Amino acid sequence: MRLSLTARLSITFVVITVACFSVVGLLLFKAVSRRVYIHDQTNIMLDARHLRRLAQELQSPADVVAHQDRLIALMLGDQANGLRVIDRGGRVLIDRVPMGYELPTQPVVPADQRIVPASIRSWKDRDGNEIRGVATAATLQNGESVTIAVARSLADRTALLARYRSDVSLSLLTGLLIAVLLSYLLVRRALRPLRCMAESASAITAQRLSKRMPLKDAPAELLALATSLNEMLARLEQGFARVWQFTVDLAHDLRTPIGNLRGANEVALNRQRSLAEYEALLGSNIEECDRVSRTIESVLFLARAESPQFALQRIALDTAQELHRIADYFEGLSSEAGVSISVAASAKVYADRDLFRRAVNNLLSNALRYTPRGETIHLQAVECEQGIEVSVDNPGPGIDPEHLDKLFDRFYRVDRSRSDSASSTGLGLSIVKSIMELHGGSVSVRSTAQLTSFTLHFPQSPST
Amino acid sequence: MRLLVVEDEKKAGEYLKKGLEESGFTVDIATNGVDGLHNALEEDYALIVLDIMLPGMDGWEVLKRLRAKRDTPVLFLTAMDELEERVRGLELGADDYLVKPFAFVELLARIRTLLRRGPPRDVEHMHIGDLEIDAIRRRVRRAGQRIDLTPREFSLLQLLARRRGEVLSRSQIASYVWDMNFDSDTNVVEVAIRRLRAKIDDGHEVKLIHTVRGMGYVLDLEHEGE
């Protein structure tokens, strides 16, 4: 069974309340009965001592009978008390037992022995009520000995304690009812912000991702939860927007070459053309197909890079050798653009060779596009505290700060109208970012008015 | 040489047949797995091009049953670029694979490589018209005239010469010459070819390096369409 938080908390409160009440009630009851017990014990003991002392001042049994009122007065007239004095012959000298219970006269505390609480005995009368009492011997002035028995019926005490017990139980029950009601109401009230949050959360759907949890009335404990939920929602909303934008951009990117294909073919078929024209058309068709293939390949690469099964083949790469190889690959292209490429590297990097080359390749081809004639692009690899940093620095017009953080987004082009979109898929930098994430690293970009610098951060290799 | 192409898509089958026949092969087409397996077992083919997604019996099954009886080289075509797919195909006994969409010249090159069985021999001296390539001393002469090439230019020329008459795609060239095994959106290869061509062909009547538009480059004494 799934218990609501309200029920759980209420039950907990009630259990605690009942436990406290019960313990307190029990302790109070114990304390009271203990007090009563000690009080009675002391009274019986003192009465017995008193009576013995008085009796020992009297001359003879006859004197005892004569002074019986004095002796009886010592018992304070309580109906529960009883007194019997008998002489050695078993003759009853005083018999004052208002409630009529038995007063055994054995065992007897000898006349010269002190009466202590331990001397007091306990027995039951005919009705099952407890009686406590003590019998003691007293030596009269004429040397004769009498037996004095003192007792007290505890019937009234039992009744008192029983009443007390039922009073305590009743207040316990009342307290319990109040506790149940109060804890339910209070807990419900305390948890109201939680219910409000649940209601707000259920109003958020894929179509209404811009909704947020209200933070205004949230108590401190829920504020952290609501805040992180809101942050999660913001990330989700961003993710949704990105996927949406990605879909739109992908469709647009595919529409352009397909439009070109269709248009060029339609125009060509419109009338008879020369063989050379047909050949040119077919060549151009293949170029458009290549463009679509490249976009698809890039999109698939990005998708695969996000799957946890992507297998990296990491090896220790000599960055100097790799960067020289890439510089060499670009040599023709860069010298046509009047740009030189310098390499300064000494570090080893633990990375997948093809992916490393692909990342640097993308950065370098990007740099080459923006470097003015006569300038130099610097490829560098240095070891730093966090790992290896590979950077591609190019002089040239800087990138506006507003573009910097979006630069690695898919299909993001600084200048949407750029005509070189035919040669670049707009996915190059996203692929760099993906490659770095696969390596547990990152890519960053800095740009001033004179210099743009992309840096690949590879984490420290596991062997060092 | 006789090839079998097992491909259910009509257009694809047609262009494969046409392209391969024009490259000097005799081509049979099977449009489903069952016919494909039957043909492959009954006839003697030099090589089989096998699509994986086929009606009747898929390519895996065809490959498995074929391998139980014959070891005709098989090149499989897959639309799924997943590593497991490729590994599975090679484990079942395929000799090579291509991911769709592929460049036709790429297919042609793979088929030729499989049929050659082994890498192209390193020829010490190659003569193409008045072009001489000395692979040992890495020297090149045209009409007796020494031509200075950078190491990369030499590798590029050597590749084209070894594969004389064969169209090589840009990605093939990037992979062989620079060991760059991914599709780049730069025109590095174009520029390299242009520079090599300037050194080899400029000032000569007969051009040796030809561009096949949209497909790639070829080195030969003459090439159609130029």
Of A363 and A102, the structure prediction assigns the larger pLDDT to A363
Domain check: are A257 and A326 in the same one?
Answer: no
Tell me the nearest-neighbour CA distance from B176 into chain A, angstroms: 12
Q: Which of A208-212, A442-446, B105-109, B136-140 has the lowest mean pLDDT?
A: A208-212
Domain check: are A289 and A397 in the same one?
Answer: no
Domain check: are A292 and A324 in the same one?
Answer: no
Q: Which fold has domain B2-116?
A: Rossmann fold (3.40.50)
Domain check: are A31 and A156 in the same one?
Answer: yes
* Number of cross-chain residue pairs from A and B with Cβ atoms under 8 Å apart: 69
Residue A423's pLDDT band (boundaries 50, 70, 90)? low
Q: Which of B144, B46, B35, B50 is nearest to B89 (CA)?
A: B50
Residue A1's pLDDT band (boundaries 50, 70, 90)? low
Domain check: are A36 and A157 in the same one?
Answer: yes
Instruction: Give the three-class secondary structure for A95.
Output: strand
CA A317 to the chain's CA centroid:
45
Phi first, then psi: what are they for B185, rounded to 5°? -95, 15
pLDDT at A77: 66
Question: Residue A85: inside a domain, yes or no?
Answer: yes
Domain check: are A343 and A443 in the same one?
Answer: yes
Q: What CATH number has the domain bearing residue A111?
A: 3.30.450
Identify the domain boundary among A122, A140, A161.
Answer: A161
d(CA B120, CA A254): 39
Preferred mutation among B185, B188, B212 to probe A, highest tally of A CBs within 10 A: B185
Range B125-219 classified under CATH 1.10.10.10:
yes
Question: Residue A227: inside a domain, yes or no?
Answer: yes
Asked whether the beta carbons of B184 and A365 are under 8 A apart, the reply is yes
Tell me the nearest-neighbour CA distance from B186 into chain A, angstroms: 7
**Tens of pLDDT, residues A280-289:** 898 889 888 8
Q: What CATH number has the domain bearing residue A263?
A: 1.10.287.130
SS (H, E, C) A262-293: HHHHHHHHCCCCCHHHHHHHHHHHHHHHHHHH
A42's tokens: 């002391």
Question: Residue A464: inside a domain, yes or no?
Answer: no
Which of chain A's residues have a Cβ under 8 Å away from the Cβ of B79? none
Instruction: Give the three-class secondary structure for A425.
Output: coil
Domain check: are A333 and A418 in the same one?
Answer: yes
**Tens of pLDDT, residues B138-182:** 899 998 899 999 888 999 999 999 888 888 988 889 988 988 888
pLDDT at A415: 63
Question: Which residues lie below 8 Å from residue A324, measured CB to CB, with a gap of 6+?
Answer: A343
Amino acid in position A200: S
pLDDT at A393: 93
Question: Residue A210: inside a domain, yes or no?
Answer: no
Domain check: are A126 and A54 in the same one?
Answer: yes
Q: What's the predicted TM-score (pTM) here? A: 0.63
Question: Residue A261: inside a domain, yes or no?
Answer: yes
* Range list of H helices, A213-269: 220-269
Q: What is the ipTM of this complex?
A: 0.75
Question: Residue A126: inside a domain, yes or no?
Answer: yes
Identify the domain boundary among A116, A142, A161.
Answer: A161
Half-sphere exposure of A215 (CA within 13 A, CB side): 11
How many structural domains comprise chain A?
3
**Tens of pLDDT, residues A95-115:** 888 888 887 777 888 888 888
CA A19, A22, A27, A28 torsion-angle sign: positive
Residue intervals of chain B classified under CATH 1.10.10.10 are 125-219
Question: Residue A172: inside a domain, yes or no?
Answer: no
The overall average pLDDT reported for chain B is: 86
Domain check: are A328 and A400 in the same one?
Answer: yes
CB contact under 8 A, A282 and B187: no
* Cα Rg of chain B, angstroms: 20
Domain check: are A72 and A110 in the same one?
Answer: yes
Question: Residue A209: inside a domain, yes or no?
Answer: no
Q: What CATH number has the domain bearing residue A388?
A: 3.30.565.10
CB contact under 8 A, B225 and A279: yes
- Its domain, for residue A333, covers 314-459
The overall average pLDDT reported for chain A is: 85
Residue A250's pLDDT band (boundaries 50, 70, 90)? confident
At CB < 8 Å, which residues of chain A contact B? 279-280, 282-287, 289-290, 293-294, 296-297, 300, 304, 311, 325, 328-333, 336, 354, 357-358, 361, 365, 368, 423-425, 428
Identify the domain boundary among A238, A270, A305.
Answer: A305
**Tens of pLDDT, residues A287-309:** 888 888 888 888 888 888 887 77
CB contact under 8 A, A424 and B184: no
Closest-approach residue (CA) in chain B for A426? B185
Which of chain A's residues have a Cβ under 8 Å away from the Cβ of B181? 354
Cα B29–Cα B32–Cα B35 angle in degrees, nearest 5: 70
d(CA A248, CA B36): 41
**Tens of pLDDT, residues A438-458:** 999 999 999 888 899 999 999
Domain check: are A66 and A148 in the same one?
Answer: yes
Choose among A283, A294, A311: nearest Cβ to B185: A294
Closest-approach residue (CA) in chain A for B183? A294
Which of chain A's residues have a Cβ under 8 Å away from the Cβ of B194? 332
* Cα Rg of chain A, angstroms: 52
A436's tokens: 């770095």
Domain check: are A124 and A147 in the same one?
Answer: yes
CB contact under 8 A, B213 and A283: yes
Check whether A416 has a pLDDT greater than 60: no
